[in-house]
Chains A and B, each alone.
Chain A
Amino acid sequence: MTWWERAYLFEIVRGLTITGGVFMKNMWRWMTLRKGALTTYYPEETRADYAPRNRGKHVLTQRVDGRPQCIACNLCATICPAKVIEIEAAFDPEDPAHPKYPARFEIDYSRCIFCGLCVEACPEDAIRMVKEVPDLPTRDRGSLWLSRAELLTWNPQSDVAKPYAARPTRAPE
């Protein structure tokens, strides 16, 4: 150390000036009714800057008539390392091309690890992950189970993969 550093005082004053400067800058922002922090108020405030490829919440895509694209093949439930997906298959005699459909499709977000393997496993492009994160903070575990109806709410006006009807022509079961 040089004598300047060994005298402690000057370097300490320099350090205190840096931290004190940050304090003053942030304090000034707070006092002029702006936000002087980098952190967000988590549940109340959602970040706008999620990357487009962020693995956020799951959505089930829909057919043109509004029914789920899912054919209840259980591949996503099989590959899921956290075993959070539960599917109950049902038979639809009115649609000979896709006779199987999920009567129940639930994801337990209390255990989901957001790995995205379900999306990769799906042969039908029926499950995707959008960049927005699910609204998770809650006081009971029950509300962390998302049902089929909640997963089917995603209804974009345009999609790169396939056309979407503006309004479902047939109500989902």
Chain B
Amino acid sequence: MIQDLVVTMLFIAYAIAVLLVFGTVLTWVERKQAAIMSDRIGANRAYVRIPFTQIRLVWLGLFHGLADGLKMMLKEDFKPDSYDRFAYAIAPWVVFTPVLLVFAVIPFGGTLVPGRLFDALPVVASWFGDRTYPLQIARLDAGLLVVFAFGGLTIIGAMLAGWSSSNKFSMLGALRAGSQMISYELVMGLTVLGLIVVYGSVDLGSIARQQSGVVLGWLPAWGIVYQPFAAILFMTAAIAENKRIPFDLPEAESELIAGYYTEYSAMKMGLFMFAEFIEIAIIGALFTTLFLGGYNLPFMNDAGFVLPGGHVVALGHGTVLVIQMVAFLLKVLLVCSFQILVRWSLPRFRYDQLLAFAWKFMFPLALANLTLTVVAVWVLRAG
């Protein structure tokens, strides 16, 4: 029992570390990628000087994230003359916490077998016995439903923030955020439903495991192969959920200053920004798990690589685990980078176009995709 506790605590520490690092590094990636896309150099002036020397570490501007965080903490914590101080104070946390919690159900690697990992240390190996741990904090049967439940919570945070700020811009931003997020949440749920029909499970661990195989002899059995159309719809809806360009109407700076967090300053505002960046990573992790095979590399299983020609490369348990975890992180980073590419390429929608796009364009398409998937699965299972 105590072994389970130790391993779960390790997983939680890993998850929190990964999310916080992603949140910080993505601010840098966003700056640099945007700069390189537009023929610029990007932020490169912040430095850390080694004490008592004149050695300045610039590291390609990585410390700008640090400078941002410091600025956020040292700024004045402005409080508007609001009628609901409590709602105003907890709104950033209501946005931030669920975003962190979503990662609990996402598998970030294969199955850990401590007994095999600690071959050289019989004491540790025998302490763990023959227990196995899938690299996933919470192995819930309702995995995907938990994701959507927590995703829905962030709407409440945005609405609370806008409502309690006593500012018309915040109010308008909150209204926009509410209607937009509910609309796109629906589309997102419908697109994922097709995937649930294909895999017959809402447990993300099971979905990831089922993607380790091969279809048609050489294609990796990833979700994007089964449901390419759903992948596009999911990505679009996810970016809209995160309120990023081209769907950033709730915080459109040229219309609403900063939307529902106009009245927030210092670290409270930082929490909103941080939640947005972590949500980029969460969307990356979800998209990876659902459509890009999760931690699986093509032709790889828990024992090593099985290449199409029948060639087998056997690998140790530890090596396989490390490869899977690194593969997962790299895929997540790629998806994040794609989101940043979208954010710096597309112009913003008009608000009526935004809702029309959700209800008259994506919603029917998602329904059609679901219908086709159900019919196809029914025909294939029957025949």
Contacts and interface: CB of A to CB of B under 8 A. Distances in A.
Interface string A1-30: 000000011001001101110110011001
Interface of A: 8-9, 12, 15-16, 18-20, 22-23, 26-27, 30, 36-39, 41
A26 B345 contact: no
Contact of B346 (A12, A23, A38): A12
Given A9-B232, A12-B346, A15-B346, A37 B36 contact: yes
Given A9-B232, A16-B341, A20-B341, A37 B346 contact: no
Contacts of B38: 22
A30 B41 CA distance: 10
A43 B112 CA distance: 53
A18 B346 CA distance: 11
A27 B344 CA distance: 16
B154 interface: no
Interface residues of B, number: 16
Contacts of B346: 12, 15
A161 B141 CA distance: 89
Given A9-B232, A23-B33, A15 B40 contact: no
A6 to B, nearest CB: 9
Contact of B41 (A12, A16, A41): A41
A23 B36 contact: yes
Contact of B39 (A12, A20, A39, A41): A39
18 contacts: A8-B357, A15-B346, A16-B341, A16-B342, A16-B345, A19-B37, A19-B344, A20-B341, A22-B38, A22-B39, A23-B33, A23-B37, A23-B341, A27-B36, A36-B36, A37-B40, A38-B40, A41-B41
A37 B344 contact: no
Interface of B: 33, 35-41, 232, 341-342, 344-346, 357, 361
A37 B345 contact: no
A52 to B, nearest CB: 26
A26 B37 contact: yes
A26 B342 contact: no
A15 B341 CA distance: 10
B41 A19 contact: no
A162 B238 CA distance: 72
B122 to A, nearest CB: 47
Nearest to B342: A16
B235 to A, nearest CB: 11
B341 A26 contact: no
A12 B343 CA distance: 12
A18 B342 CA distance: 11
A38 to B, nearest CB: 4
A147 B346 CA distance: 52
Given A12-B346, A16-B345, A19-B345, A37 B232 contact: no
Nearest to A35: B41
A37 B342 contact: no
Contact of B341 (A8, A19, A36): A19
